[in-house]
Amino acid sequence: QRHQQQQHHHHHHQPNLQQRRASFPMPGTFQMAGQASKPDSAEELYDTEEGAEATVSMENSIASLMPFWHEVQAMSITDPVSGRAALLLLQTDITSRAELETRMAALTESQLAMLEQMFPRHVLEYMVAKQHSHNSPDLPVRLPSPSQAPNANQLASSHENVTILFTDIVGFTAMSKEVKPDQVMAYLNELFTAFDALVDTYEIYKVETAGDCYIAAGGLTLIDEDGFTCIDPTPDPQEAAQRVLSFAKALLYCAKKVVMPHNGEPTQIRVGIHTGPAVTGLIGTKLPKYSVFGDTMNTASRMESTCPYGCIQISQATHTLLPNHPFTPTGGVEVKGKGRMLTFLWSPEVDHPGEDLAASAQATEETIHAST
């Protein structure tokens, strides 16, 4: 048996449903203010003292069936017959409305979880502040407080040393011509979901995907004490480059665990990495996108496009941050729009990573296992 007390004064606007809702399993009878009453009765009159407020206590004798929701409204009136003060109770079955609100609350929570994956904290704060300014309904309590939210012109952030990673899948274009689009989508979803699982392990930021290209960044964000992604105010460029390189090695290993849909062969990728200045910001209002901009993105893309398959190619700027790692100098490569650039290769076959690769493989296996 469950007791709920509800009290409601009639106002022009509807009060919050959470403040007046009582849940009871399907009853035989209700006990209302000491009077036995069937639940389908529309109105009940009870004598009370002038100006007194009523407290309606409901008790259910059957607690094992499906729950439902009733709303009880209490209004002070004058009995037209006796002239005495009375209390008018109006009981309404609002089960369908309450169930809809419950589903909407669950949807809102899942939407928030998705937004947390898409945007850093300061962008969420901006969204909250913007909705509050438009007199929107109350938002979930897990959203950040909008008190310190920036305006739209302050959402862009400059970063001095961000390490950007680009990946590309060997033979993706040819494969896409041989299989159905739904198979391509399922394949990319499997591969990129595995990559996503590694993002948290190596504490880097997933920027976006474009076709078969997966883009990530290090030295850009961190997780704050409330669990939100936020801009890292004091990033360590060397430590960030190390994490991105470890992430890249894990990607090479992880990709081989996913087979190509047209020939059943293990997926092979190439990775390009470059470190330099960048700007982050929110673009657009329809499907808004928080992304990274600047020539560092272009250079990282060129590191990937000129990289041999199965290898990691880094620029000289990134190599300076990784002095104790085995790389093979390329002697320079021609980069579109850049001319000849000094680059360095890391190859599992050539550089004999040994324990480093084994550690990346073990971490990858553990992360993928945990995510599934």
In a domain, residue 101? The reply is no
Indicate whether 31 belongs to any domain: no
Reported residue count of the chain is: 372
5 domain-assigned: no
Strand pairing class (328-329; 213-218): unpaired
Question: Number of structural domains, the chain?
Answer: 1
pLDDT reported for residue 65: 62
- 74 falls within a domain: no
Considering the domain boundaries, does residue 251 fall inside one?
yes
Residue 188 belongs to a domain: yes
User: By three-state DSSP, how is residue 186 classified?
Assistant: helix
Which pLDDT belongs to residue 254? 93
Q: pTM higher than 0.85, yes or no? A: no
Burial class (CB in 10 A: 0-12, 13-18, 19+), 343: buried
Let me know if residue 228 belongs to a domain.
yes
Mean pLDDT by 10 residues, the chain (372 residues): 38 36 35 37 43 43 64 90 90 84 70 77 77 51 47 77 96 93 95 93 92 94 84 92 95 94 93 96 82 94 94 96 92 88 88 49 49 45
- The two three-digit tokens of residue 37, written as one number: 């009453």
Q: Cα(92)–Cα(69) distance, rounded to whole angstroms?
A: 9
Token pair 């990282």 is found at 300
Question: In angstroms, what is the C-alpha Rg of the chain?
Answer: 31
Residue 209 domain boundaries: 155-370
**Residues 155-173: tens digit of each pLDDT:** 888 999 999 999 999 999 9
Cα diameter, the chain: 104
Q: Is residue 277 part of a domain?
A: yes
State the CATH number of the domain containing residue 262. Answer: 3.30.70.1230
